[in-house]
Amino acid sequence: MNSLAVILFLGIFQFSNPIVFKSTIPQGMIDAINQGNSKKLSQFFDDNIEINILSRYINIYSKTQAERIMFEFFKSNNPTQFKIIKENGTANSIIALGEFNSFTGNYRIFLTMKKEKGQNYIQAFNVIERTM
């Protein structure tokens, strides 16, 4: 009877414990977006990066150009919070969805990254307005 009670208790505990999402996105990348720091963020850019920010900048840019574009975006949209809400990937690539909140609006950020030599490099950075 005691072993049945222990099994029931552990089963209830397991289902009552919320599942915590553990991101594989580097914390430095998340911090750079949270701080609106384009220079720190550019350290995670691939040599060329596809950017689409609110359908204003749609192109493939060099690391230097992308840093300037992100600087302008963060200047206009001072971040209040950024968090990764979903991600999926393989050993060599990651696709992630994040929520970006600023004083001027709320957005979704889609990141496509490749993993090379133990480092994640952003290949695509897309920002769209969050409608909900």
pTM of the model: 0.79
Statement: 2-129 belongs to CATH 3.20.20.370: no
Strand partners for 60: 50
Contacts of 112 (CB under 8 A, 6+ apart): 50, 93, 94, 95, 122, 123, 124
The domain limits of the chain are 2-129
Q: What is the pLDDT of residues 80-110, one digit of tens each?
A: 999 999 999 988 999 999 999 999 999 999 9
118 vs 100, residue with greater confidence: 100
Model pLDDT for residues 8-65, shown as the tens digit of each residue: 333 443 444 444 445 689 999 999 999 999 999 999 999 999 999 998 889 999 999 9
Instruction: Report which secondary-structure segment, H or E, holds 41.
Output: helix 38-42
